[in-house]
Chain A
């Protein structure tokens, strides 16, 4: 038994009576990172379902040309709310949930550094989204100007505007407190011997993501505060009539918005970097270069924002700068993709559900990356801008990218959380249905976009009908396939084959030295770091 194991087991014997308090108050008052991780993950799943239903309203309307089911105003509310719910309610809390659960266990900490702030950060979210979703019930309906909230259009949002702005502020506060907690935990609470370059990649990617959050969430908060004062207090930040500039909002928004894209993908890189070595039964290839690649991507994310607004009109020098800076991101991203492939090369691979999702991530995220490179080319972007090609691009990055990585992480760590193995056959059924339908949904959107179909419209020219029909069928298939995930998770919580501590034969790291399910309190005494648990490639002499 490893020292870490022994240290943990000793602790567990001492504190067996010290479990979670019973009842609902456990979840409201909890400061335990595992409880809060669970809350974040269920919240994220709920938001995925709500945002998914909005997507199905969109796809049902777009099944045929003409206006069928909803009026255009409501359609615009659906596109706006779908994005806000999925980004701020689904993807981000999903990653925060995984971070809550896993980061303390990966670095040998007893909990996050600021547990009460952790509780507060989570419980802001249900209220933020209740506020956001309740805009659908106020006169004039919800916000309908797109998740980018461009003025002057967004200023026509009537009663929904202050509610939207307050909700965004709450989400921002939640994200910033969560990010501060993660940085402090990682920098101050690593077990002795775990230097920065011995940390698991998931911890590294989250450390860098947390810095990004601290840097850019205040920018979003500032931008929406200015919208609020423009709308209600007579300022003219974005009103040309008063000396302001509506295009400035776009610059500010995307200065937040592009790093936000990486906030939603860097933790995904971390998850995939944990899973691929486990199921290839090799150490991660090029650990150091993976860390530097993540840091490079994070740096570059601050200097590419205007590629979202090439068509707004800017000096050619500006367009060239943002084009080349954007293309530069392909270099560290390529390093990561090649390193994952090199990790698999000559590995003793098996294809359990987490690995299937991780491999699908590498393939499909790369497709999204390539279409991103196409969009980075200024003259080409003038053709693609605001078409369904852009919709296809960012959905490839976010669905088989970010969402697949969350699913991969859930399957990978579920036995550690519940103490039971999930049903592998049903998990693989979920994977295949999800992967097939995600491509049926989004791949045709490349073609309709290249043919000129604009995004954010409830009606379209008849020549786009077939691609839209295929896309809608795929969306319904994809949406309903997620009920299988719900079944797998619930049945795994309720029972199943007992999971061992290590769960996966090739898994390395401190989190696999504790029992499954992970005890309520772990590592109250910092564990030793045995050589065999070090994830860094060079430390393991590979």
Chain B
């Protein structure tokens, strides 16, 4: 695999991981807000 393709794949991997990690953290925080206000 050439270097450009490798870097592009790495960027896409990190981007998707950040989105998914953000979702997980978002669920955690949203949960606190919802339950705390219920």
Contact = CB atoms under 8 A, between A and B. Distances in A.
B20 to A, nearest CB: 4
B1 A237 contact: no
Given A180-B21, A183-B20, A215 B38 contact: no
B3 interface: no
Interface string B1-38: 10000000100111011001101110110011001101
B23 A226 contact: no
Nearest to B27: A218
B38 A248 contact: yes
Interface stretch (A184-192, A289-297, A459-467): A184-192
B9 A214 contact: no
Given A176-B24, A183-B20, A188 B36 contact: no
A525 B5 CA distance: 11
Contact of A215 (B21, B27, B35): B27
Given A113-B13, A218-B25, A222-B28, A180 B35 contact: no
A396 B9 CA distance: 43
B19 to A, nearest CB: 9
A384 B30 CA distance: 35
A171 interface: no
Given A180-B20, A183-B20, A222 B12 contact: no
B36 A114 contact: no
Nearest to A114: B17
Nearest to A526: B1
Contacts of B27: 214-215, 218-219, 222
Nearest to B25: A218
A454 to B, nearest CB: 30
Contacts of A524: 1
A327 interface: no
Given A184-B20, A252-B35, A221 B28 contact: yes
Contacts of A214: 20, 23-24, 27
Contacts of B38: 248
B16 to A, nearest CB: 5
B13 A218 contact: no
A217 B13 contact: no
Interface in A173-221: 176, 179-181, 183-184, 187-189, 214-215, 217-219, 221
B10 to A, nearest CB: 9
Contacts of B14: 114
Contacts of B35: 222, 226, 237, 248, 252
Contact of A218 (B9, B12, B24): B24
B24 A184 contact: no
B3 to A, nearest CB: 13
A114 B28 contact: no
B24 A188 contact: no
A184 B23 contact: no
B17 A217 contact: no
B20 A218 contact: no
A275 B28 CA distance: 37
Contacts of A117: 17
A117 B25 CA distance: 16
A214 B31 CA distance: 14
A218 B25 CA distance: 7
B24 A114 contact: no
A405 to B, nearest CB: 26
A470 B27 CA distance: 45
6 contacts: A180-B21, A218-B27, A218-B28, A222-B31, A226-B32, A252-B35
Interface of B: 1, 9, 12-14, 16-17, 20-21, 23-25, 27-28, 31-32, 35-36, 38
Given A113-B17, A114-B13, A225-B32, 9 more contacts: A113-B16, A180-B24, A184-B17, A184-B20, A214-B24, A215-B27, A218-B31, A222-B32, A252-B35
Shortest beta-carbon contacts, A-B, top 10: A218-B28, A218-B27, A222-B31, A113-B13, A180-B20, A184-B16, A176-B24, A218-B24, A184-B13, A184-B17
